């Protein structure tokens, strides 16, 4: 009987979310390096610093394009570091609602991923290192 009811009664109110690059501007168009920036001397959120907080992490001197070059080690192959997707997803969602990425940045997939609405293609955004 839905079809015979007035549209205003059957349709829920419009609730378009802010989807970066789809319904809203993309504030983090280069992904990792757009968000992991140095805001001040005591607020250095660049990845080179974030990585230092991971105990025993090897040097990332060879990384030029982020996160593409992280994959050289994070291949998930036997003996190599865990797949990049697992390392990065865990770093941002591991603490669930206590993850700062979730509580301060809406925990959006589209901070790191982008979807081209025309083609449907997904990619992981990237950019040159900022350190
Ligand atoms: C929109 C902002 C944002 C984007 C984009 C982003 N991050 Fe983060 N990242 C954070 C925040 C906030 C934290 C602090 C950790 C938390 O969520 O509690 C963090 C933490 C990290 C850490 C530290 C984890 C630890 O164990 O201490 C690494 C490494 C990291 N991010 C890598 C990346 C990489 C690689 C990308 C791109 C693929 C990326 N981030 C994209 C916001 C961002
Ligand atoms: C020279 C090799 C190497 C490079 C380059 C590298 N990593 Fe790692 N990374 C490791 C190893 C080894 C570990 C510890 C073992 C593991 O987690 O598989 C690790 C651990 C991590 C972890 C913690 C994983 C966890 O869940 O415990 C994160 C997050 C991470 N790396 C992010 C990055 C990011 C982002 C980049 C690029 C900016 C990067 N790594 C580049 C070797 C590397
Ligand atoms: C902080 C950055 C970041 C966020 C947020 C993020 N991803 Fe990812 N995602 C990555 C990276 C980096 C890779 C690995 C890309 C590669 O190796 O080419 C990846 C890979 C993937 C893959 C490929 C399959 C796999 O696991 O290897 C899927 C599917 C995926 N992400 C889904 C999601 C979904 C769904 C969300 C939101 C709930 C999300 N991602 C949020 C960074 C992120």
**8: confidence class by pLDDT, cuts 50, 70, 90:** low
Instruction: Return the pLDDT at 81.
Output: 97
* CA nearest ligand 3 atom 20, residue: 85
Q: What is the DSSP letter of 58?
A: P
Instruction: Return the pLDDT at 108.
Output: 96
Mutate to test the pocket of ligand 2, among 45, 57, 101, 125 (most ligand atoms within 8 A of CB): 57
Asked whether residue 4 is assigned to any structural domain, the reply reads no
Examine the pLDDT at 1 and tell me if it is beyond 60.
no
The Cα–Cα gap between 19 and 111 comes to: 9
Nearest ligand to the C-alpha of residue 123? 3
The Cα–Cα gap between 11 and 117 comes to: 24
Contact by Cβ (8 Å): 60, 67: no
Q: Tell me the pTM.
A: 0.95
Query: How do residues 17-56 score in pLDDT, each as one tens digit?
Result: 999 999 999 999 999 999 999 999 999 999 999 999 999 9
The alpha carbon of 112 and the centre of ligand 3 are apart by a number of angstroms equal to: 7
Between strands 65-66 and 127-128, the pairing is: antiparallel
The alpha carbon of 106 and the centre of ligand 1 are apart by a number of angstroms equal to: 13
The Cα–Cα gap between 93 and 82 comes to: 16
Asked whether residue 86 is assigned to any structural domain, the reply reads yes
| Secondary structure element (H or E) that encloses residue 113, with its range | strand 113-115
Query: How do residues 64-117 score in pLDDT, each as one tens digit?
Result: 999 999 999 999 999 999 999 999 999 999 999 999 999 999 999 999 999 999
Asked whether residue 35 is assigned to any structural domain, the reply reads yes
**What is the extent of the structural domain holding 28?**
20-128
Asked whether residue 15 is assigned to any structural domain, the reply reads no
Asked whether residue 76 is assigned to any structural domain, the reply reads yes
Number of domains in the chain: 1
Q: Work out whether the CA dihedral 33, 98, 19, 85 comes out positive or negative.
A: positive
């Amino acid at each position: 009987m839905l079809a015979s009811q007035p549209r205003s009664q059957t349709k829920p109110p419009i609730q378009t979310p802010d989807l970066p690059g789809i319904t809203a501007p993309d504030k983090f168009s280069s992904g990792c390096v757009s968000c992991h920036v140095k805001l001040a001397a005591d607020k250095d959120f660049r990845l080179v610093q974030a990585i230092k907080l991971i105990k025993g992490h090897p040097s990332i001197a060879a990384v030029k394009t982020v996160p593409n070059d992280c994959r050289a080690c994070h291949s998930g192959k036997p003996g190599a570091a865990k797949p990049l997707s697992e390392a990065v997803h865990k770093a941002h969602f591991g603490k669930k609602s206590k993850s700062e990425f979730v509580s301060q940045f809406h925990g959006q997939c589209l901070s790191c991923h982008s979807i081209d609405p025309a083609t449907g293609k997904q990619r992981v955004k990237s950019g040159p290192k900022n350190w």
